[in-house]
Amino acid sequence: MASGPDTTSASAPDGSRERKAAPAAQPGAPEGPTRASSADTGSDVPPDVSEPPGTRAPRPGRMRRLAALARREAGRSALAALGGVALAFAFPPYGLWPLSLLAVAALSLLTRGRTGRQGAWLGFAFGWPFFIVLLKWLHVVGWDAVIGLAFLQSLFVLGLGAGLAVTARLPLWPLWGACLWLTEEFLRDRLPFGGFSWGRLAFANTDSPYTPLAALGGAPLVSFAAALTGTLLAAAALRGLRLRSAAARTGRAYATCAGALVLAGAATVAGLAVPVPTKAADTVRVAVVQGNVQQPGMHFLGRPMQILNNHAEATLDLAKRIEQGKEPRPDLVIWPENSSDLDPYKYPEAGDRIDRAVKAVGVPVLVGALVDHPTKEGYVENQGIVWDPEKGPGASYTKQHPVPFGEYVPFRDQLSKVITRLQQVPRDFYPGDHTGVLQTGPARLGDVICFEVAYDEIPRDTVKDGARALVVQTNNATYGRTGQPEQQLAMSRLRAVEHGRAVVTAATSGISAIVAPDGTVQQRTEEFTQDVLTGELPLRDEITLADRVGAAPEWAIAIVGVLACAGAWILGRRRSGTGARTRTAPDTAGAGDGTDRQDRQAQAEGQHQ
């Protein structure tokens, strides 16, 4: 091995040193080295370092490398994009949950045999179309908002794709792949600015065999089980494709393929064995008022006090039916988020309007209102307020997780100069500092406001603090008839199973619903109608295993995903240091085999055709 830069001379047979002539270039042959780099072949094998220095072609710029990568991966990129779109159709309003399993399997297959960089590109090609279709309801704000948020979210899937590519070289790769799906959701749920939880696999499986698993490990366990099924299906598909070769038709090969399918089936039906208790010692009668708004979209508020008047009038109509004996008197009434579009503490006419409606119905009403912060000028609080017919406004809950760029603007002074649209958020919402456990008449309710239902810790902490039923106050008028209300209702259904609590969703314009502790929607409204739902609400004290263990399973699975990536990276470094003898991984059989030689050969042949 050469120890210095002088690699152009060698010892002659007689011991003297003679100059080696450079080989003549062949007509039509490219200048410089002709070997394929590891990026070209998709192999994790490092380039041959025995080349004389000075003979390599100059490295292309970053954009040229990305363009070349995109060209090489064009076919797989198109399939990845198709897989991302298919995953979006697994979510409401379409609700084709089996597509979530097939999409996971597709990304696993597409990234297998790829380098980390290629896997990252395929993850991005999968993630961006997925989020564009899933979040298309944001087009009400602007399509640039859809594309921008989808781009940001797809960066997490970019990392997922890289992780899937490198861990595919490990034994038991379907398990590590499923862990990585949860790692991606774990990070996206928290970063940046508190995270954005839309698009978790669990929210596509709120009416599937996986749903009962939420009672054991919450939404993360549902996501993990769905992802594991998908990766096992990918493993079975790989083995099935190899069985086309007569030489590969061995008993072990058939057993491996069958084993992967059996495990995938077991992961699918495991949830059916989980009991979902619904028995309750107490019940209360609840009325859910949906007052409606004047128009959908960004300007749903209409005239001042119009939304408040709508909810007050619907409540007065309910009171009239009660007096006429057409409707039994409820124990409590739920109004949605923003049902009072004026601060009832600041504007006496708003407070009087609420007070008259509450006195007419004769029971406590949980009112949603935006109120000025008592001490911080310029800030507003998004509150649920218990309004008693005798005592007036009492206990309240302030939303803990305001929506970035919707309810507050991070770096407002800097960004508002560049993005003038942010001026449509004139004041920042101030976050609350305690859970929403509120005594509302005879019921101890847990209030969760709008997007908070997407974040695991807020409903969980509310239940652990003593809530016997959950209420989701929401205002989806901006995104009416776009699919967003259906997506949010699906989250309420999953939370019902996860915590063993009935969930009441109260929306200004729909969809309002009463959900049983087993996730069944007992009643619901249509969008943009004025309506009142009434029914019996079970009050439960027993907490689920998911509430007891909290976020521990999610942390554990996410950490395993990170460790799997680290292990694959270390293994790759060791292999690269051993030379040509270990550049090709052994072709082990089964769903848990390492890097597959056939995959590598097929990829290399495809690159050089």
- The whole-angstrom separation of Cα 213 and Cα 226 is 10
Q: 286 - beta bridge partners? A: 332, 535
Instruction: Output DSSP code: residue 340.
Output: B
Question: Mind listing the pLDDT tens digit for each residue in 64-90?
Answer: 877 777 777 799 999 999 999 999 999
Classify residue 257 by burial, with Cβ atoms within 10 Å: 0-12, 13-18, 19+.
Answer: buried
Element (H, E) at 233: helix 214-242
pLDDT reported for residue 423: 81
The arithmetic mean of pLDDT across residues 471-476, rounded, is 97
Measure the CA–CA gap between 413 and 398, rounded to whole angstroms.
25
**Pairwise pLDDT comparison (259 vs 41), residue with the higher score:** 259
User: Which pLDDT value is given to residue 297?
Assistant: 67
Q: Residue 81 is inside which H or E element, if any?
A: helix 74-88
Q: What is the DSSP string of 385-411?
A: EEEETTTEEEEEEE-SSPPBTTTB-TT
Above 50 in pLDDT, residue 480?
yes
What's the chain's average pLDDT?
Answer: 87
| Statement: residue 367 has pLDDT above 60 | yes
- Token digits of residue 561: 């995903």
pLDDT at 335: 99
Q: Which amino acid is at 427?
A: R
CB-based contacts of 118, cutoff 8 Å, min separation 6: 39, 42, 69, 72, 73, 111, 165
pTM of the predicted model, to two decimals?
Answer: 0.84
Q: Where are the domains of the chain?
A: 66-275+551-579, 282-541
The answer, yes or no, to whether the previous bond of 511 is cis (omega within 30 of 0) is: yes
pLDDT of residue 590: 44
Mean pLDDT of 327-340: 98
Q: Are strands 428-429 and 379-388 parallel, antiparallel or unpaired?
A: parallel
CA distances from 516 to 181, 335, 493, 494, 535 (A): 29, 19, 8, 11, 11
Going by C-alpha positions, the residue among 286, 432, 309 that lies closest to residue 373 is: 432
Q: Which of 47-56, 211-220, 563-572 is predicted with the least confidence, judged by mean pLDDT? A: 47-56
The answer, yes or no, to whether residue 509 has pLDDT greater than 70, is yes
HEC assignment per residue over 344-382 = CCCCHHHHHHHHHHHHHHCCCEEEEEEEECCCCCCEEEE
For residue 521, the one-letter residue type is V
Residue with tokens 């006419």: 349
Report angle CA 310, 311, 317 to the nearest 5 degrees.
90
Looking at per-residue pLDDT, the higher value among 56 and 393 belongs to 393
Q: What pLDDT is stored for residue 581 in this prediction? A: 53
Which of 60-74, 105-119, 328-342, 474-488 shows the lowest mean pLDDT across its residues? 60-74
**pLDDT for the residue 576:** 74
* Coil, helix or strand at residue 283: strand
Assign 100 a pLDDT band (cuts: 50, 70, 90). Answer: very high
The pLDDT confidence band at residue 314, using thresholds 50, 70 and 90, is: very high
The predicted-structure confidence for 540-592, as pLDDT tens digits, reads as follows 999 999 999 999 999 999 999 999 999 998 988 887 776 545 444 444 444 44
As a whole number, mean pLDDT of residues 139-152 equals 95
d(CA 599, CA 113): 6
CATH fold, domain 282-541, is Nitrilase/N-carbamoyl-D-aminoacid amidohydrolase (3.60.110)
pLDDT score at 46: 41
pLDDT value, residue 49? 42
DSSP assignment string, 207-221: TSTTGGGHHHHHHHH
pLDDT at 300: 65
Pairing state between β 282-290 and 332-334: parallel
Render the burial of 87-108: b for 16+ CB within 10 Å, e for the rest.
Answer: bbbbbbeebebebbbbbbbbbb
Say if residues 510 and 290 touch (Cβ distance below 8 Å).
yes
Q: Is the pLDDT assigned to residue 40 strictly greater than 50?
A: no
Could you tell me if 552 and 220 are in contact, meaning their C-beta atoms sit under 8 angstroms apart? no
Task: Tell me what the mean pLDDT of segment 148-159 comes to.
Answer: 98
Encode 504-518: b = buried (16+ Cβ within 10 Å), e = exposed: bbbbbbbbbbbbbbb
Position with higher pLDDT, 424 vs 219: 219
Q: What is the DSSP letter of 451?
A: G
Residues 212, 274: contact at Cβ < 8 Å?
Answer: yes
Mean pLDDT confidence for 161-189:
98
Q: For residue 192, is the peptide bond before it cis, meaning its omega torsion is within 30 degrees of 0?
A: yes
Q: How confident is the model at residue 50, as a pLDDT?
A: 44
Place of tokens 């949010």: 488
* More confidently predicted of 603 and 190: 190
Segment 448-466 mean pLDDT: 98
Asked whether 448 and 455 are in contact (CB, 8 A), the reply is no
What pLDDT is recorded for position 587? Answer: 45
Picking from 25-39, 128-142, 183-197, 533-547, which range would have the lowest pLDDT averaged per residue? Answer: 25-39
Contacts of 218 (CB under 8 A, 6+ apart): 456, 460, 498, 546, 551, 553, 554
327, 294 Cβ separation under 8 angstroms:
no
Query: Do 405 and 152 touch, CB atoms closer than 8 A?
Result: no
Sole residue written with tokens 């009325």? 287
Residues with catalytic annotation? 337, 399, 450
User: Can you say whether residue 427 is alpha, beta or left, with left for phi > 0 and alpha for psi between -120 and 50 degrees?
Assistant: beta
Q: Which residues pair with 204 in a beta bridge?
A: none
* 375-400 exposure pattern, b = at least 16 Cβ within 10 A, e = fewer: eeeeebbbbbbbbbbeeebeebbbbb
* For residue 431, pLDDT beyond 60: yes
Helix axes 98-111, 143-167, angle to 10 degrees: 60
Instruction: Write out pLDDT tens, residues 247-293.
Output: 677 788 888 899 999 999 999 999 999 999 888 989 999 999 999 99
In whole angstroms, give the CA distance from residue 51 to residue 54: 9
